């Protein structure tokens, strides 16, 4: 059964290209370790909520935009193995030096699809 890792981060608007470049460099590594699809989305229509919203979830500041991303895997087992490899691969550590966002405010989690049309 497919498995999806989802992420939401706040990225300074002037670092959009740096974020896109980082994602483009990281994508082949995730695919090498088993990911079947990687999607990165830059906020365009993210309304403010009264109780919560995407911006509040990552404590986005006025100069930041929200990025919503997901990585698909064929199964949770493949995802778990990929995450272990990613955490120890020196190529990922090299990419980590270029983080164009505050990783402490990233929210993420693993999900089992219940509808995939």
pLDDT tens sequence across 6-37: 999 999 999 999 999 999 999 999 999 999 99
* Token pair 């090498």 in the structure block, residue: 32
DSSP 91-107: HHHHHHTT--S-GGG-E
Residue 38 corresponds to which tokens in the numbers above? 């990687």
Percent of the chain scoring above 90 in pLDDT = 86
| Burial class of 25 by CB neighbour count within 10 A (0 to 12, 13 to 18, 19+) | middle
Q: Note down the domain range covering 75.
A: 3-111
Q: Is residue 117 part of a domain?
A: no
**Whether pLDDT at 56 is above 90:** yes
Which band of pLDDT confidence, cut at 50, 70 and 90, is reported for residue 96?
Answer: low
Q: Is residue 101 part of a domain?
A: yes
What contacts 55, CB < 8 A, 6 or more positions away?
10, 46, 48, 66
Q: Is residue 76 part of a domain?
A: yes
Residue 91: give its domain's CATH number.
3.30.70.100
| Count of structural domains within the chain | 1
Cα separation of 83 and 46, whole Å? Answer: 29
Q: Is residue 116 part of a domain?
A: no
Q: Is residue 40 part of a domain?
A: yes
Q: Is residue 55 part of a domain?
A: yes
């Amino acid at each position: 059964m497919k498995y999806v890792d989802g992420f939401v981060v706040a990225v300074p608007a002037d670092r959009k290209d740096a974020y896109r470049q980082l994602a483009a460099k990281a994508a082949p590594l995730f695919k090498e370790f088993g990911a079947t699809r990687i999607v990165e989305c830059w906020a365009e229509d993210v309304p403010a909520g009264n109780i919560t919203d995407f911006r509040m979830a990552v404590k986005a500041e006025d100069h930041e935009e929200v990025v919503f991303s997901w990585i698909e895997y064929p199964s949770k087992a493949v995802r778990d193995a990929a995450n272990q490899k990613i955490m120890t691969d020196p190529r990922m550590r090299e990419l980590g030096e270029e983080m164009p966002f505050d990783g402490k405010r990233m929210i993420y989690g693993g999900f089992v699809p219940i509808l995939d049309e």
